[in-house]
Amino acid sequence: MAAAERLGVDVVVGSERRNALESLSDSGTLQVDLGDPARGAATIVEYARERPLDAVVGVDDGSTLVASAAAAALELPHNEFEAVQASRDKSVARARFAAAGLPTPRHIVVEADADPRAILGAGEVRFPCVIKPIDLSSSQGVIRADDPESFEIAFERVVTIVRSPAVCPPGTATQQIIIEGFIPGPEVAVEGLIRGGELEILAIFDKPDRLDGPFFEETIYVTPSRLAPETLDSLETATRAAVGALGLTEGAIHAEFRLGVGGPWVLEVAARSIGGLCARTLRFGAGLMLEELILRGAASMALPSHDRVDTAAGVMMLPIPRAGVLDEVRGIAEARAVPGIDGLEITIRGGATVVPLPEGDRYLGFLFARGDTPATVETALRVAHARLDVVIT
């Protein structure tokens, strides 16, 4: 919304919950069924008959399918629905990556009501492995298992998550579960923008905390990457190949890789930008925000020169340490006073029930830092985080 205001663009905000929209847009709000892409798109098309639209932008995983269907119906720039659908389905994406010759984890797909002992008896599971819902994000429901005993426990835990009302509302089909090989090595993220089929790599993020399990709660992202130039080149090449394998042709992409044996192993390519408030780490020439580039691309507006600024930057997604009710977060002023800290946002209100991963799907908030080098940025984030005291009862 801030990016749209800077560009002088009128926006109508679409969401499933009208009470979440009341103060978002002066141009109006629209209640859209994001669980049914055809129905959601029809609502947008009907709205556009009275008030023509120049672009439809999905800003998170739950809205990309509806955005694609609506933009197609309105003959606006868009990703093909089938390509977005493939990016949302981990099994389909894995198959496409493998067909394109990209290293990607070996996997099988099972139903949530499957017997974990029967799965093990089939002899297709190799350890260590990772068990996850087939289309959830933010590491929700993602658990590593190293042996048959931990596999059974982890599988039942993932089943409970995918059958919960928040994930599987009454009347909807229970999600499938994907079981894939664990790829050791550091994890990185790539941010890009596609316009007219041409992909531009905007940033590569290091994730300095090792994500080895049993859960995969992401914490720190730092850019520019400290990887060797040849590794960065291989990541760019792999990102272009992965985007092509899915058939994505328009808009933002967020890709995740493991640097394993033989180079980058592609984990996912999402047809959206980086999640939460993490995009605040990225600033481009002339003070442009990432969201401004996305809106300009979607609405076929001119893109000014937008090389990323040289200053190192990073974000820490603040983990929820335990389940309960959030009373308060102490030490905020002390954390903000750490040299290099550029901002701190606590995004969960006091009194709210909080649930950590793998059952939860939210972070406590976001901590931002800038500095001369990626190392100083990482240090500032860790020092500031240590000054926070999260009180949960």
Tens-place pLDDT, residues 316-369: 999 999 999 999 999 999 999 999 999 999 999 999 999 999 999 899 999 999
pLDDT at residue 151, as a whole number: 98
CA distances to 94, 118, 128, 177 from 122, rounded to whole Å, are: 21, 6, 16, 16
**Are 57 and 42 members of one domain?**
yes
Q: Does 204 have pLDDT greater than 80?
A: yes
| Residue 84: inside a domain | no
pTM, full prediction = 0.93
How far apart CA 257 and CA 242 sit, in angstroms, is: 11
Phi and psi angles of residue 133, each rounded to the nearest 5 degrees, phi first: -60, 150
Structural domain range at position 15: 2-78
How far apart CA 83 and CA 101 sit, in angstroms, is: 18
How far apart CA 65 and CA 89 sit, in angstroms, is: 12
Q: Does 299 have pLDDT greater than 60?
A: yes
How far apart CA 321 and CA 377 sit, in angstroms, is: 23
**Are 229 and 252 members of one domain?**
yes
The secondary element (H helix, E strand) that includes residue 190 is strand 187-195
Range with the poorest average pLDDT among 197-211, 287-301, 345-359: 287-301
Using alpha carbons, select from 20, 25, 34 the residue that is nearest to residue 3. 25
**Are 200 and 315 members of one domain?**
no
% of the chain residues with pLDDT over 70? 97
**Are 284 and 214 members of one domain?**
yes
- DSSP letters, 354-387, are E--TTT----SEEEEEEESSHHHHHHHHHHHHHT
Q: Which of residues 122, 152, 181 is at a domain's end? A: 181
Any idea what the CATH number is for the domain that residue 113 is in?
A: 3.30.1490.20
Q: What is the pLDDT of residues 34-70, one digit of tens each?
A: 989 999 999 999 999 999 999 999 999 989 999 999 9
pLDDT at residue 168, as a whole number: 77
Q: Does 19 have pLDDT greater than 80?
A: no
| Residue 329: inside a domain | yes
Tell me which amino acid residue 105 is: P
Q: Say how many domains are in the chain.
A: 4
pLDDT at residue 254, as a whole number: 97
| Residue 90: inside a domain | no
**Are 285 and 228 members of one domain?**
yes
Phi and psi angles of residue 296, each rounded to the nearest 5 degrees, phi first: -60, -45
Q: Can you tell me which residue has the tokens 């992409």?
A: 253
Phi and psi angles of residue 263, each rounded to the nearest 5 degrees, phi first: 120, -155
% of the chain residues with pLDDT over 90? 82
| Residue 124: inside a domain | yes
Using only the alpha carbons of the chain, give its radius of gyration.
21
Q: Which of residues 181, 213, 229 is at a domain's end? A: 181
Q: Report the mean per-residue pLDDT for the chain.
A: 93
How far apart CA 320 and CA 361 sit, in angstroms, is: 10
Q: What is the pLDDT of residues 130-161, one digit of tens each?
A: 999 998 888 999 999 999 999 999 999 999 99
